């Protein structure tokens, strides 16, 4: 075991003792794993703790490793940890260099399931072209457009800027869903192509004031919001 690995294990041991207030320390197994991004896992099995850290943080400062140890052990035992740990890790994770590494890992390791843009009732390619002309002066480069594999109701749309893909929930591809609602959900995701997320106080802000102002430019904004409210009440 290297000095770095010993120190990392010490951080998790300290976190366990401070968070659980227990003196009996379980065996802790820590490994770095090629996740598709900044993902980390922690599991408790047969009184042993197994930790998988993204290999992106392998060379992170010891203070970041310690913060991550407290965050993960706190998550494992459903305990709150100090905001200083959250802020320290977040500051590291949102650094441009780390974000580039994370995005590259997602591109190279991530697997995007792509279906079809042509649904039973609505054609996403046609709707995108119409919205691009009307609201963006045809300045948006068409991404990969696809209906979701399942009928998700909690998330109606998603823009993946790493894979340049927009996924729209198949639950909207019905004859009882007005086309302007599908357009609005797609328009919302297209706005994410125009308004990239900004950092504010160590957090990524996706829906900025400029984003919300553009969102209200949609011709049927009020009607679309009313329809979304109806959908939420059905859940």
Q: How confident is the model at residue 187 (pLDDT cuts 50, 70, 90)?
A: very high
What is the token pair recorded at 157?
Answer: 């749309």
Sign of CA dihedral 11, 12, 17, 19: positive
Find the length of the chain.
Answer: 235
* H/E run at residue 32: strand 27-33
Fold of 114-233: Zincin-like (3.30.2010)
Question: Residue 28: pLDDT above 70?
Answer: yes
pLDDT number for residue 150: 84
Query: φ, ψ for residue 159 (rounded to 5)?
Result: -110, 120
Asked if 3-110 and 114-233 have one fold, the answer is yes
Task: Let me know: does 140 contact 166? Beta carbons within 8 Å.
Answer: no
Question: Residue 77: pLDDT above 90?
Answer: yes
State the Cα–Cα distance between residues 11 and 224, nearest whole angstrom. Answer: 50
pLDDT number for residue 19: 95
Task: Let me know: does 115 contact 149? Beta carbons within 8 Å.
Answer: yes
| pTM exceeding 0.75 | no
Per-residue model confidence as pLDDT tens digits over 158-184: 998 878 899 999 999 998 899 999 999
Task: Let me know: does 127 contact 168? Beta carbons within 8 Å.
Answer: no
Return the domain boundaries, the chain. Answer: 3-110, 114-233
For the segment 113-131, the average pLDDT, to the nearest whole number, is: 91
* Beta-strand pair 157-160/165-168: antiparallel
When mean pLDDT is compared across 39-43, 78-82, 101-105, 185-189, the lowest value belongs to 101-105
The neighbouring-strand residues paired with 123 are 118
State the Cα–Cα distance between residues 90 and 204, nearest whole angstrom. Answer: 10
Domain 3-110 has CATH 3.30.2010: yes
* Helices then strands, each counted (H, E), the chain: 8, 8
pLDDT number for residue 145: 95
């Amino acid at each position: 075991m290297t000095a770095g690995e010993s120190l990392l294990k010490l951080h998790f041991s300290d976190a366990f003792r401070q968070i659980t207030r227990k003196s009996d320390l379980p065996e802790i197994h820590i490994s770095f794993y090629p996740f598709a991004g900044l993902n980390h896992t922690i599991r408790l099995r047969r009184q042993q703790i197994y930790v998988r850290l993204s290999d992106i943080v392998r060379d992170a400062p010891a203070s970041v490793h310690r913060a991550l140890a407290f965050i993960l052990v706190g998550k494992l035992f459903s305990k709150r940890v100090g905001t200083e740990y959250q802020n320290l890790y977040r500051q590291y994770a949102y650094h441009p260099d780390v974000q580039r590494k994370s995005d590259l890992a997602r591109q190279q390791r991530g697997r995007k399931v792509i279906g079809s843009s042509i649904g039973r009732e609505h054609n996403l390619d046609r709707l995108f072209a119409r919205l691009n002309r009307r609201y963006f002066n045809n300045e948006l480069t068409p991404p990969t457009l696809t209906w979701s594999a399942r009928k998700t109701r909690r998330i109606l749309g998603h823009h993946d800027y790493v894979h340049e893909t927009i996924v729209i929930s198949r639950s909207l591809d019905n004859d009882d869903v007005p086309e302007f609602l599908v357009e609005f959900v797609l328009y919302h995701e297209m706005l994410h192509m125009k308004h990239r997320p900004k950092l504010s106080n160590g957090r990524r802000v996706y829906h900025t004031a400029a984003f919300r102002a553009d969102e209200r430019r949609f011709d049927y904004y009020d009607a679309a919001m009313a329809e979304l409210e109806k959908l939420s009440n059905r859940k």
